[in-house]
Amino acid sequence: MDALRTAATGMAAQQTRVDVIANNISNMSTTAYAPRKAVFADLIYRTEVNPGAISSTNGTVVPTGIQIGLGVQTSAVTMDIGQGALRQTGNDLDLAVQGRGFFEITLPNGEPAYTRDGKFEVDPDGQVVTSTGFPLADGLTVPQDARKVSISPDGEVYAYFDDAVDGQSIGNINLVSFVNERGLEALGNNLYRQTTASGEPLTGQPGNEGLGLLEQGYLEESGVDVVSEIADLIEAQRGYELNSKVLSAADEMYAAATRIR
Q: Point out which residues bind other proteins (CB under 8 A).
A: 2-3, 6-7, 9-10, 13-14, 17, 37, 39-45, 47, 49-52, 62-73, 75-76, 78, 80, 82, 99-100, 177, 179-180, 182-183, 196-199, 202, 209-210, 235-236, 238-239, 242-243, 245-246, 249-250, 252-253, 256-257, 259-261
| Minimum CB distance to other proteins smaller for 52 or for 153 | 52
| Minimum CB distance to other proteins smaller for 131 or for 228 | 228
Q: Output the smallest distance, CB 231 to other proteins, in A.
A: 10
In angstroms, rounded to a whole number, what is the distance separating the alpha carbons of residues 114 and 20?
22
| Minimum CB distance to other proteins smaller for 164 or for 179 | 179
15 closest CA partner among 43, 40, 44: 40
Q: What is the DSSP string of 16-68?
A: HHHHHHHHHHHTTTSTT---EEEEEEE--EEEEE-TT-B-STT--B-SS-EEE
**CA triple 211-132-127, angle to 5 deg:** 75
Q: Output the smallest distance, CB 94 to other proteins, in A.
A: 24
- DSSP-derived 3-state class of residue 252: helix
Q: Output the smallest distance, CB 236 to other proteins, in A.
A: 7
| Minimum CB distance to other proteins smaller for 21 or for 173 | 21
Count of alpha carbons within 13 Å of 196, Cβ hemisphere only? 0
In angstroms, rounded to a whole number, what is the distance separating the alpha carbons of residues 52 and 178?
46
> 10 Å Cβ neighbour count for 197?
12
Q: Output the smallest distance, CB 157 to other proteins, in A.
A: 24
Q: Output the smallest distance, CB 165 to other proteins, in A.
A: 36
